[in-house]
Amino acid sequence: MTKRQPVQNGSLERPSQNKAPQPPLDREVLADIVDMALTAGELLMKNGAESQRVEETVRLLGTGLGCDWGSVLVSYNTIMVTHASGNEFRTKIRRVENIGVNMRVIEDISHVAHRVEAGKLDRASVRAKLEQIRAVPRGYNRWVTALAVGSACAAFSRLLGGDWPVFGVALLASGVAVIVRGELAKRGLNALLVVLMTAFAAGGLVGLVSRFQFSPRPELALVASVLFLVPGVPGINAVEDLIKGHIVVGLARAANSMLIVLAIVLGLILAVQLTGVRIS
C-alpha cells in the first residue's frame, strides 16, 4: 500500500508573477488585507477610475502586504477579491456605487499603491492612509466649482461662436445648474433624473432670459450651459475598459453614458418647448 499524500488547499493555483515565497499569514491578517484592498478598490471605482487600475491596485495591495497571490474580479458595480497566503485564502465581495469623479482620490490611492509596492508601507500605515483619503472632503468649495464650471461653459460658448451676451448667459445658467445639481444629488434621487432636471434648469434659465432677445443665437448658450453634464469620464473609461479587455464593464459604462446623454437631451428639449427659445 502506498502512503497517502497530505491534502493541500488550493495547491493547483500558482501565483503568476511569483517572487520569493513570503512567510504565511494568519487568517485575521489576511482578512485585514482583503478589507483594505477592497477599500482601495472601492475608493478608486467611486471616483472615476477605469477597471484596469482598480484591478491592479486591489491585487497589488494584497501581494505588496505579504500575500502570495490574489485574484480580482471587477464588475460594473462590484469588486470581488481572493487573496491567499500559504494554505489560507480569503474571499470577499463589495458592492460599490459609482458616484462621481475625483481625480485627487485616484492620485492619492495610486501613490499608496506605489509605496506598498516599494515595501515602504506596512499594514497599519496603509489603513491609516486609506482612512485619511476617505475622510478628505470634496476638494474645491462648491461656489468655486460653480464659478469655474460656469466660466468653462461660457468659454465653450465662445468656441462655438457665441457673442458676449451668450457668454454671460452661459456663465449664469451653468453656474446655477452646478448648484442645482449639487442640491438634487444630495436628495438621493435617481442619477439620470438628476441629470435631466439639471439640464432642464439650465435650459429653462436660458429660455427665460432669451425672452429679452439677448442674442441672435440663444441656442449656443443653451448648449454650452449643459456641457458639464456630458459624461466625459464615464465615456473615456468605457473606451479604456473595452480596449483593455474589460468588455462587460466597458459596455455597461457605455450604456450608462448614452443614457446620461439622452437625459441631457430630454431635459433640454423640455426646456426649449416650455420656454419657446427660438432656434435658428
Partner 1 sequence: MIAWELLMQNSIWAGLAAVGFALLFNVPRRTLFGCTLAGALSYAVRSLLLELGLVGIETGTLLAATLVSVLGVVFGRVWRVPAVVFAVPGLIPFVPGSLAFRAVSDLLTLTTGAVSADDTLLMKAVVSTLKSILIVGAIAAGVAVPSLLLRRDRPMT
> Of 65, 110, 80, 13, nearest to 249 (Cα)?
80
Query: What's the min distance (Å) between Cβ of 137 and partner 1?
Result: 10
Are the beta carbons of 54 and 47 closer than 8 angstroms? no
Query: What's the min distance (Å) between Cβ of 225 and partner 1?
Result: 10
Give the residue with the Cβ less far from partner 1, 27 or 138. Answer: 138
User: Contacts by 128-134 with C-beta closer than 8 Å and gap 24+?
Assistant: 130/36, 130/39, 130/40, 130/43, 133/43, 133/105, 133/108, 133/109, 134/39, 134/43
Q: Report the alpha-carbon distance of residue 108 to residue 172 in Å, rounded.
A: 33
In the structure grid, which three cell numbers stand for residue 143, read together?
A: 461656489
Give the residue with the Cβ less far from partner 1, 29 or 236. Answer: 236
Q: Report the alpha-carbon distance of residue 151 to residue 162 in Å, rounded.
A: 14
For partner 1, the binding residues (CB under 8 A) are 48-50, 53, 56-57, 60, 101-107, 110, 113-114, 138-140, 144-145, 148-153, 155-156, 158-161, 178, 219-220, 222-224, 226-228, 230, 232-233, 235-236, 239-240, 243-244, 265, 268-269, 272, 279
CA–centroid distance for 163 within its chain:
35
User: Strands across the sheet with 88-95, in order?
Assistant: 69-74, 78-85, 88-95
Query: What's the min distance (Å) between Cβ of 24 and partner 1?
Result: 25
Q: Which residues of 170-183 are buried (b: 16+ CB within 10 A; e: fewer)?
A: bbbbbbbbbbbbee
Give the residue with the Cβ less far from partner 1, 31 or 236. Answer: 236
Query: What's the min distance (Å) between Cβ of 2 and partner 1?
Result: 45
Give the residue with the Cβ less far from partner 1, 29 or 242. Answer: 242
Give the residue with the Cβ less far from partner 1, 29 or 101. Answer: 101
Query: What's the min distance (Å) between Cβ of 228 and partner 1?
Result: 6
Are the beta carbons of 199 and 224 closer than 8 angstroms? no
Give the residue with the Cβ less far from partner 1, 38 or 162. Answer: 162
Query: What's the min distance (Å) between Cβ of 17 and partner 1?
Result: 11
Are the beta carbons of 230 and 257 closer than 8 angstroms? no
Give the residue with the Cβ less far from partner 1, 10 or 56. Answer: 56
Query: What's the min distance (Å) between Cβ of 5 and partner 1?
Result: 37
Return the DSSP state at 9.
Answer: T
| Backbone φ/ψ region at 187: left (φ over 0), alpha (ψ -120 to 50), beta | alpha
